[in-house]
Amino acid sequence: MSLDRLFFDRRLTLKSFKENLLMNKLHTIVLLFLLLITVAIPLDINSQVNFTSSNMPIIVIDTYGQTIVDDPRIRAHMGIIFNDNQSRNFVINPFNNYDGWISIEIRGSSSQYFYPKKQYAVETIDSVGNNLNVSLLGLPEENDWILHAPYSDKTLVRNALIYQLSNDIGRYASRCRFCELILNGDYQGVYILMEKIKRDKNRVDIAKLNPEEISGDDLTGGYIIKIDKFAGEEIGGWVSPYPPYENAQQTIFYQYHYPKPDDIATEQKQYIKDFIAVYEDLMNSSQFNDRITGYHTILDVESFVDYFLLNEIGKNVDGYRLSAFMYKDKDSKNGKIFMGPIWDFNLAFGNADYYDGWKSDGWEISYFKKSPDFRQDSFQVPFWWCKLYNDPYFQRQVQKRWQTLRENHFSQDYIFGIMDSLTTYTSEAVERNFQKWNNIIGHWIWPNYYVGQSYQEEVNWMKQWIYYRINWIDQELEKEITSEIQTESVPVISDFMLMPNYPNPFNKVTILQYRVSKSVYLKLEIIDLKGNRIAILCNRFHEPGSYQIYWDGIAENGSNVGNSIYLVSLSSGRHSQIRKVLYLK
């Protein structure tokens, strides 16, 4: 694959390519510079290791003389030796955890060009090439896997640490299993078998969306979208109309992750694009944090809070803007936007010498917002992240969640306990890994800030960085937030009750339902987010009973309303109840 493929795929339109070309030039120049640096570093990658056994699982891959490339995948054989966690694994043992076919390719974006230790995407397949769901190393059955190759992360544990923290606080992240890899008879060092992010009951647990599901509740989920580099087998998506900052030349490109670009139906593409457009329109309005109609009506705020804290505890220089996943389930199952899962923290926890990544103080999202040098980067943070970050209600939720987590999962003892467990488990294999890749420890590898002279020095420095980081966040979040905290409330009035409408969102007609407990004069109207009346659907005296009225998205002047959130207001004198309805053409 050429460097151009990193930023452009044949599935992107020429227009999209031209829109991103200007900013991608700078990124390409930087990448080429890093490639030259790496070529100049004398890495002896042919060191022989006498590898006969391990306390960790052993993965053996044979490509039968084929070269593994970025695209297309090649067919190979994979065997796994894993006796159990108490027994030692010997290279001469039979394959007892998996013994079968795979398709394999090199994965990653920048890393695959200037790190000699490659990481791989693997699919388990049957004898005729069909996907084969299996359990590997005790992980739930699936067919898509990642063999992650820690390289610039000299502790080897940054991803494993943050993914475990995420899972421990109730947010799914890829589960990890450390192993040692032999490829075509050559020892490759320590790898991590990880779950690829995809829709599955044991991964991102949202509804399966088939191509024929193009209407009603079926159409509303599930979707996984991401903001990332233009790398991978399939690229498809749309460009946000909102720039990441005022007068920016860069754009934010939302990519289809599930369903895949080749599988997603036209109606499904339009639905998720419109849904995100409504969200961005709301975030761009002055009413974005309104206590009744604000972003909490569309977002699962708690997931955004956790995503923020996980990115910030590691101060991830790629956070929010690369490998940033979001998902949406069907409306009947909670159709809000969830943020996550987190992905790719190799350059976190102080392991970056740019964008203040090495500093243990400062919010990374604040750096992204304010730094002039970051504004030259091709890959920016969506504008709405900064609006969330500055909103008092969101800040309060961050503060409360942090205080809760610091009592357990984000305590120093808990985090260091995970690190100690991981480094103890891998200690034997670590020596072999750095014997194989013998010019890593004590040498600068892009984009290290700290260069320790031993593995233990690398681990100690990371612990020290975490100690200062969590204490800085403690102090920052102790600052009093004096702004009024806005919360959503629906007044309970005994005379009448406005029920949730269905379907919601809708694109043809929705049913508005309400109940009346005693004789009362009621007005039912539609209002936009700016407070303008769109239509009066009912304005009369009511006897006790249940009522329903249909609204087809037509304003009182006879025109179709645009894609947006609207308020359904049922009022009697000074009392009113309000529900939100989302219209998508």
What are 334-387's pLDDT values in tens digits? Answer: 999 999 999 999 999 999 999 999 999 999 999 999 899 999 999 999 999 999
Q: What average pLDDT score do residues 504-522 get?
A: 87
Structure tokens at 49: 């290791």
Give the C-alpha separation, 105 to 71, whole Å: 6
pLDDT, residue 230, reads: 85
Q: Give tens-digit pLDDT for 266-303.
A: 999 999 999 999 999 999 998 899 888 899 999 999 99
Q: Domain range spanning residue 545?
A: 496-583
pLDDT, residue 508, reads: 85
Under the banding of pLDDT at 50, 70 and 90, the label for residue 530 is: confident
How many CA atoms does the CB half-sphere of 138 hold within 13 Å? Answer: 10
User: Cβ(10)–Cβ(89) under 8 Å?
Assistant: no
> 16 pLDDT exceeds 60?
no
How many CA atoms does the CB half-sphere of 365 hold within 13 Å? Answer: 20
DSSP 128-160: TS-B--B--TTPPSBSEEEEE---S-TTS-HHH
Under the banding of pLDDT at 50, 70 and 90, the label for residue 579 is: confident
The separation between the first and the last C-alpha atoms of the chain, rounded to the nearest angstrom, is: 40
The phi and psi torsions of 191 (rounded to 5 degrees) equal -125, 165
pLDDT, residue 114, reads: 66
Q: What average pLDDT score do residues 177-193 get?
A: 98
Structure tokens at 171: 């947010």
Under the banding of pLDDT at 50, 70 and 90, the label for residue 111 is: low
Judge whether 501 lies within some domain.
yes
How many CA atoms does the CB half-sphere of 222 hold within 13 Å? Answer: 18
Give the C-alpha separation, 337 to 348, whole Å: 25
- CA dist list (Å): 213 to 219, 256, 337, 583: 6, 16, 19, 19
Residue type at position 285: S
Q: Give residue for tokens 């159990």.
A: 84
User: Cβ(282)–Cβ(529) under 8 Å?
Assistant: yes
The phi and psi torsions of 87 (rounded to 5 degrees) equal -105, 150
Judge whether 210 lies within some domain.
no
pLDDT, residue 574, reads: 61
Q: What average pLDDT score do residues 444-455 get?
A: 97
Instruction: State how beta strands 176-183 and 144-148 pair.
Output: unpaired
Q: Give tens-digit pLDDT for 413-442.
A: 999 999 999 999 999 999 999 999 999 999
Judge whether 96 lies within some domain.
no
User: Cβ(240)–Cβ(279) under 8 Å?
Assistant: no
pLDDT, residue 521, reads: 87
Query: Omega into 259 within 30° of 0, i.e. cis?
Result: yes
Q: Which residue has the higher pLDDT, 326 or 32?
A: 326
pLDDT, residue 9, reads: 34
Judge whether 107 lies within some domain.
no
- CA dist list (Å): 293 to 383, 456, 487: 19, 52, 10
Q: Give residue for tokens 């995970």.
A: 418
DSSP secondary structure letter of residue 95: P
> 502 pLDDT exceeds 90?
no
The phi and psi torsions of 357 (rounded to 5 degrees) equal -65, -20
Minimum mean pLDDT range among 124-133, 225-234, 403-412: 225-234
pLDDT, residue 285, reads: 92
Q: Give tens-digit pLDDT for 85-108.
A: 778 999 999 999 999 999 999 998
Give the C-alpha separation, 451 to 368, whole Å: 25
Q: What average pLDDT score do residues 231-255 get?
A: 91
Give the C-alpha separation, 252 to 242, whole Å: 8
Give the C-alpha separation, 573 to 337, whole Å: 35
Q: Count other C-beta atoms under 10 Å from residue 407's C-beta.
A: 9
User: Per DSSP, what are the bridge partners of residue 578?
Assistant: 569
Q: Order across the sheet with 533-542: list the strands.
A: 533-542, 520-527, 564-572, 575-583
User: Cβ(160)–Cβ(314) under 8 Å?
Assistant: no
- What does the longest C-alpha to C-alpha distance in the chain come to? 89
Q: What average pLDDT score do residues 539-558 get?
A: 90
Q: What average pLDDT score do residues 16-24 get?
A: 42
pLDDT, residue 132, reads: 98
User: Cβ(258)–Cβ(328) under 8 Å?
Assistant: no
Judge whether 550 lies within some domain.
yes
pLDDT, residue 25, reads: 45
% helix / strand / coil in the chain, to the nearest 5? 30, 25, 45
Judge whether 527 lies within some domain.
yes
Q: What average pLDDT score do residues 5-34 get?
A: 40
Instruction: State how beta strands 176-183 and 58-62 pair.
Output: parallel
Q: Which residues make Cβ contacts (< 8 Å) with residue 463, sequence separation at least 6? A: 416, 419
Minimum mean pLDDT range among 16-20, 261-265, 326-330, 445-449: 16-20
CATH of the domain at 521: 2.60.40.4070
> Which uninterrupted H or E stretch holds 59?
strand 58-62
User: Per DSSP, what are the bridge partners of residue 103?
Assistant: 75, 123
What mean pLDDT, rounded, does the chain reach? 88
Judge whether 533 lies within some domain.
yes
Judge whether 535 lies within some domain.
yes
How many CA atoms does the CB half-sphere of 545 hold within 13 Å? Answer: 5
pLDDT, residue 490, reads: 37
Q: What average pLDDT score do residues 475-494 get?
A: 52
Nearest to 148 by CA among 171, 176, 123: 176
User: Cβ(49)–Cβ(435) under 8 Å?
Assistant: yes
Instruction: State how beta strands 98-107 and 253-258 pair.
Output: unpaired
> Which uninterrupted H or E stretch holds 177?
strand 176-183
Percent of the chain at pLDDT above 70? Answer: 88
Give the C-alpha separation, 55 to 554, whole Å: 68
Q: Which residue has the higher pLDDT, 503 or 179?
A: 179
Structure tokens at 331: 């409306």
Residue type at position 354: Y
Percent of the chain at pLDDT above 90? Answer: 74
Nearest to 300 by CA among 261, 320, 329, 322: 329
> 184 pLDDT exceeds 90?
yes
Q: How many domains, the chain?
A: 1
User: Cβ(309)–Cβ(270) under 8 Å?
Assistant: no
Please write down the long-range contacts of 398-404, taking CB distance under 8 Å and 24 or more positions apart. Answer: 398/305, 398/308, 398/309, 398/477, 399/477, 399/481, 401/302, 401/305, 401/306, 401/309, 402/309, 402/473, 402/474, 402/477, 403/477
Under the banding of pLDDT at 50, 70 and 90, the label for residue 233 is: low
Under the banding of pLDDT at 50, 70 and 90, the label for residue 17 is: very low
